[in-house]
């Protein structure tokens, strides 16, 4: 540093004149007086004086603004200005930024914590507030200002600090932003757990080259971005459930359906184990089937409820069986669940989903995965009927899968996934297809009554069920053929029950029939309600009763007009009976007048004129 700290700077407080400020002033003056390459001098001054190049550019920009100079003005023209030295002093010292690592303008200030009464520095107070997820930088500054208004902020000499003694809000915002970028703990406290795990937290990548082909499979499903016609001629979207080998990225099996569920998982796993969908491209440019039975040692599947169901876990042998006949198929595959909403856990599967969507995007009916990339041709494809039916679309998906499995991948050293799978596997774990079929069976708990099991609205009969009448049994059935069911009681096989009418019926087809029956019953109920809409049930009952009571035969007119002689019997008591009848009529009239008078007395004052009027 060439300048002495005792130089008089009229616009700068004497306590702020430090060696750093003087070095900045000298470096800037050298740059202003320089002739030649300003960029080279800028680099030299930045290296020698310890001033960042960005800071020097900022000071020069402020200098041009102060003297109202254009952006590309020659700084040599203002080097002899009488006020230049003073302006440079003021700019350099005033622009001494406080957002490096500490909040310098808050030095010596402490805050009294409300709960404990402890005095902590302002920086620690702001950090503790900012570590909460609901706080932002502005709210932290306002909280500090509120503490100062309540006389809870102290200076170094022990007096109370005011709002003017606090650092500026922009300084607090810059300081906290710096803390957020540099402090891992602050980022963790202000982040949701999922965001932290997916974007911030470090993770270990797995070396797939150490795995054997068929050792670890990954399973998941996704909705394809295509509109196609379903079996009923309606527009719908197809879901694909697939399993991929982690070592070779080979699609070992998949299944297409309208909705993903545990059944689609079972069918995709069945196809993957038996290898029925593997096709090898031969030298004759034709695809040849490869029936390669292979059971993986481990399977990584999604965390959805369909993957966590008991049926799905039983497919992979995760649930233990009790009887000896099924002990041989327990624990066929170790099952692992990926982290929820964490695509990195199944990266190969997610990458293949994007690949298959890209391979098929030129088919008619492609709708894109977002509204922004929806193609303009989709409406035209629907209007002119170019949308593919489900069979043609499934065939195109099969072609795309075969093309992917036989295409050279850079990560496999110039081999296709199928070639890498066939040339590197050392041992294959097989399973009896009949045992696999049994694993894919559905199970339902039903009571045994009269040697029968009631399932799907039908009775399954077997003579051997007589010994377990009244007990509850586990009924295993094939969803694709409901003709026969296996009955187990307390883990032991009892009988194979049968219903001839259900042979060849699949579960979904039969459930669709039951659904249609319910819909038909519902429509009939609606029609009946519409018919009964004009007359209520009570009115209908009264009308029916009236019809019953009036169900009489009318008397013929000739019988009504027929004259019959009348015979009067004289007993001598006629006069006495007449007097008694008249006395009874008079008494009844008097009682009726009294009742009316009492009724009127309750409504209006009782008067003689009113009584006489009632009598009249």
The pLDDT of residue 11 is 46
Q: Is 203 helix (H, G, I), strand (E, B) or coil?
A: coil
Lowest mean pLDDT among 18-22, 137-141, 237-241: 18-22
Is residue 71 predicted with pLDDT exceeding 70?
no
User: Residue 590, SS3?
Assistant: helix
pLDDT band per the 50, 70, 90 thresholds, residue 252: very high
Within 293-338, residue ranges assigned H as helices are: 310-315, 324-327
Q: Mean pLDDT across the stretch 463-469?
A: 86
Q: Could you identify the residue written with the tokens 């298959």?
A: 356
The pair of three-digit structure tokens given for residue 147, joined into one six-digit string: 């503490």
What pLDDT score does 6 carry? 40
Most confident of 105-119, 166-180, 349-363, 428-442: 349-363
Separation CA 592–CA 32 (nearest Å): 127
Tens digit of each residue's pLDDT (9 = 90 or more) over 220-234: 999 998 888 888 888
> DSSP secondary-structure letter at 117?
-
Q: How confident is the model over 417-443, as a mean pLDDT?
A: 78
- Name which of 256, 294, 298 is nearest 273 in CA terms: 294
Angle between the N-to-C axes of helices 169-182 and 122-130, in degrees from 0 to 180, rounded to the nearest 10: 60
Q: Which has more confidence, 140 or 533? A: 140
Least trusted range by pLDDT, from 169-173, 293-297, 427-431? 427-431
Measured distance CA(250)–CA(615) in Å, rounded: 111
Mode of pairing for the β-strands spanning 298-301 and 216-223: parallel
Query: What H or E segment, with its residue span, contains residue 538?
Result: helix 537-549
Distance CA 101, CA 96 (A): 13
Enter the DSSP assignment of 11: T
Q: Which helix (H) or strand (E) holds 235?
A: strand 235-236
Q: CB count, 10 Å around CB of 332?
A: 21
Torsion-angle region of 214 (φ positive above 0: left; ψ -120 to 50: alpha; else: beta): left
Any residues with CB less than 8 A from the CB of 515 and at least 6 apart, and which?
A: none
Residue 239 pLDDT level (bands cut at 50, 70, 90): very high
pLDDT-based confidence at residue 250 (cuts at 50, 70, 90): very high
What is the distance between the alpha carbons of residues 420 and 495, in angstroms, rounded to a whole number?
Answer: 46
pLDDT (0 to 100) of residue 534: 67
Between 475 and 28, residue with greater pLDDT: 475
Q: Is the pLDDT of residue 254 over 90?
A: yes
Arithmetic mean of pLDDT, 531-538: 70
The rounded distance, in Å, linking the Cα atoms of 256 and 360 is 15
Read off the tokens for 30: 């050298």
H/E stretch holding 119: strand 119-121
- Residue 323: band (very low, low, confident or very high) from pLDDT cuts 50, 70, 90: very low
The CA distance from 328 to 317, in Å, is 10
Looking at 15-29, 86-100, 384-398, which range is the least confident one? 86-100
* C-alpha distances out from residue 40 to 8, 46, 47, 77, 349, Å: 31, 10, 11, 20, 53
Higher pLDDT, 134 or 76: 134
Output 247 or 58, whichever has higher pLDDT.
Answer: 247
Spatial separation of the C-alpha atoms in residues 541 and 210, rounded to whole Å: 83
Cβ(233)–Cβ(393) below 8 Å: no
**CATH assignment of 208-424?**
3.30.420.10
Strands 228-229 and 235-236: antiparallel
* Rounded-to-integer distance, Cα 356 and Cα 404, Å: 8
Distance CA 72, CA 60 (A): 11
SS3 assignment, position 138 = helix
Lowest mean pLDDT of 227-236, 338-347, 499-508, 597-606, name the range.
Answer: 597-606
Residue 190 contacts residue 131 (beta carbons within 8 Å): yes
Q: Which of 181-195, 296-310, 357-371, 449-463 has the lowest mean pLDDT?
A: 181-195
| DSSP category for residue 104 | G
Mean pLDDT value across residues 419-438: 78
What pLDDT does 96 receive? Answer: 45
CA dihedral of residues 261, 266, 272, 273 (deg, nearest 10): 160
CA dihedral 32, 35, 41, 45 (to 10 degrees): -40
User: What is the tens place of the pLDDT at every residue in 21-45?
Assistant: 666 666 666 666 655 455 665 666 6
Q: What percent of the chain has pLDDT over 90?
A: 6
Q: Which of helix, strand or coil describes residue 167? A: coil
For residues 562-595, one letter each, b for 16 or more C-beta atoms within 10 angstroms of the residue's C-beta and e for the rest, the string is eeeeeeeeeeeeeeeeeeeeeeeeeeeeeeeeee
pLDDT of amino acid 243? 94
Residue 409 DSSP label: B
Is the pLDDT reported for residue 440 higher than 60?
yes
CA nearest to 406, candidates 394, 396, 415 = 415
- What number is the average pLDDT over the span 4-16? 47
Residue length of the chain: 616
Among 150-164, 169-183, 212-226, whose mean pLDDT is lowest?
169-183
The 3-state secondary structure of 506-521 reads CHHHHHHHHHHHHHHH
CB 302 within 8 A of CB 219: yes
258 vs 93: which has the higher pLDDT: 258
More confident residue, 50 or 389: 389
Nearest to 247 by CA among 404, 419, 420: 420
Domain ranges (residues) in the chain: 14-94, 104-200, 208-424, 441-505
Residue 242 pLDDT grade (very low, low, confident, very high; cuts 50, 70, 90): very high
**Angle at CA of residue 454, ends 451 and 457, nearest 5°:** 145
> Residues with Cβ < 8 Å from 36, sequence gap 6 or more?
none
**pLDDT higher than 50, residue 9:** no
For the cut 90, the answer to whether the pLDDT of residue 561 exceeds it is: no
Q: Rounded to whole angstroms, how far apart are CA atoms 49 and 2?
A: 11
What percentage of the chain exceeds 70 in pLDDT?
70
Structure tokens at 305: 């409820």
Token output for 152: 């809870």
What is the rounded average pLDDT of the residues 112-139?
82
Residue whose tokens read 């009027």:
613
Of the candidates 332, 206, 211, the residue with the CA atom closest to the CA atom of residue 269:
332
Band of residue 245 on the pLDDT scale cut at 50, 70, 90:
very high
Please give the mean pLDDT across all residues of the chain: 76
Distance between CA atoms of 299 and 345, rounded to whole angstroms? 12
Name the token pair of 215. 């050792």
Question: Which pLDDT score, from 0 to 100, does residue 361 have?
Answer: 84
Judge whether 465 and 497 are in contact, CB under 8 Å.
yes
Q: Return the ∠ at Cα 96 (arms to 93 and 98), rounded to 5°.
A: 150
The CA distance from 125 to 153, in Å, is 11
């Amino acid at each position: 540093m060439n300048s002495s700290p005792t130089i008089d700077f009229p616009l700068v407080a004497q306590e702020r004149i430090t060696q750093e400020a003087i070095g900045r002033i000298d470096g800037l003056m050298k740059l202003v007086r320089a002739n030649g390459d300003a960029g080279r001098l800028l680099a030299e001054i930045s290296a020698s004086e310890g001033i960042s190049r960005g800071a020097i550019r900022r000071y020069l920009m402020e200098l041009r603004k102060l003297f109202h100079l254009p952006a590309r003005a020659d700084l040599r023209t203002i080097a002899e200005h009488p006020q230049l030295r003073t302006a440079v002093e003021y700019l350099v010292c005033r622009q001494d930024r406080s957002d490096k690592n500490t909040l310098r303008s808050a030095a010596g200030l402490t805050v009294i914590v409300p709960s404990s009464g402890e005095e902590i520095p302002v920086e620690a107070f702001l950090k503790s507030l900012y570590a909460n997820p609901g706080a932002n930088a502005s709210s932290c500054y306002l909280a500090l200002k509120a503490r100062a208004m309540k006389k809870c902020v102290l200076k170094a000499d022990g007096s109370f600090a005011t709002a003017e003694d606090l650092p500026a809000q922009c300084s607090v915002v810059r300081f906290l932003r710096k803390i957020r970028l540099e402090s891992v703990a602050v980022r963790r406290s202000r982040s949701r757990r999922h965001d932290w795990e997916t974007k911030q937290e470090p993770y270990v990548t797995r070396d797939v080259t150490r795995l054997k082909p068929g050792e670890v499979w990954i399973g998941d499903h996704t909705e394809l971005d295509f509109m196609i016609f379903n079996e009923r001629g309606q527009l719908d979207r197809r879901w694909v459930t697939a399993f991929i080998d982690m070592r070779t990225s080979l699609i070992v099996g998949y299944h297409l359906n309208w909705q993903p569920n545990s059944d689609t998982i079972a069918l995709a796993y069945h196809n993957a184990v038996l290898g029925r969908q593997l096709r090898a491209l031969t030298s004759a440019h034709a695809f040849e089937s490869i029936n390669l039975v292979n059971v993986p040692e481990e399977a990584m599947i999604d965390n959805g409820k369909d993957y966590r169901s008991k049926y799905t876990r039983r497919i992979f042998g995760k649930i233990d069986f009790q009887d000896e006949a099924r002990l041989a198929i327990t624990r066929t595959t170790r099952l692992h669940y990926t982290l929820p909403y964490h695509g990195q856990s199944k990266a190969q599967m997610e990458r293949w989903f994007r690949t298959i969507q890209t391979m098929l995007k030129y088919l008619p009916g492609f709708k894109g995965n977002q509204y922004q990339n929806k193609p303009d041709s989709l409406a035209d494809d629907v209007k002119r009927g170019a949308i593919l039916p489900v069979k043609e679309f499934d065939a195109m998906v099969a072609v795309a899968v075969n093309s992917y499995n036989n295409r050279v991948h850079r990560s496999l050293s110039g081999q296709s996934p199928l070639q890498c799978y066939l040339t590197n596997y050392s041992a294959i774990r097989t399973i009896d297809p009949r045992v696999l079929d049994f694993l894919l069976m559905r199970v339902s708990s039903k009571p045994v009554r009269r040697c029968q099991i009631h399932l799907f609205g039908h009775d399954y009969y077997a003579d051997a069920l007589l010994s377990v009448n009244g007990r509850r049994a586990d009924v295993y059935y094939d969803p694709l053929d409901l003709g026969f069911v296996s009955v187990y009681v307390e883990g032991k096989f009892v009988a194979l029950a049968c219903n001839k009418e259900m042979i060849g019926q699949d579960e979904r087809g039969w459930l669709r029939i039951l659904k249609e029956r319910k819909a038909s019953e519902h429509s009939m109920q609606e029609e009946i309600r519409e018919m009964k809409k004009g007359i209520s049930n009570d009115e209908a009952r009264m009308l029916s009763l009236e019809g019953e009571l009036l169900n009489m035969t009318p008397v013929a007119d000739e019988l009504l007009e027929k004259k019959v002689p009348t015979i009067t019997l004289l007993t001598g008591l006629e006069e006495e009976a007449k007097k008694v009848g008249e006395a009874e009529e008079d008494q009844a009239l008097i009682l009726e007048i009294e009742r009316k008078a009492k009724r009127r007395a309750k409504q209006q004052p009782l008067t003689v004129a009113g009584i006489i009027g009632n009598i009249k």
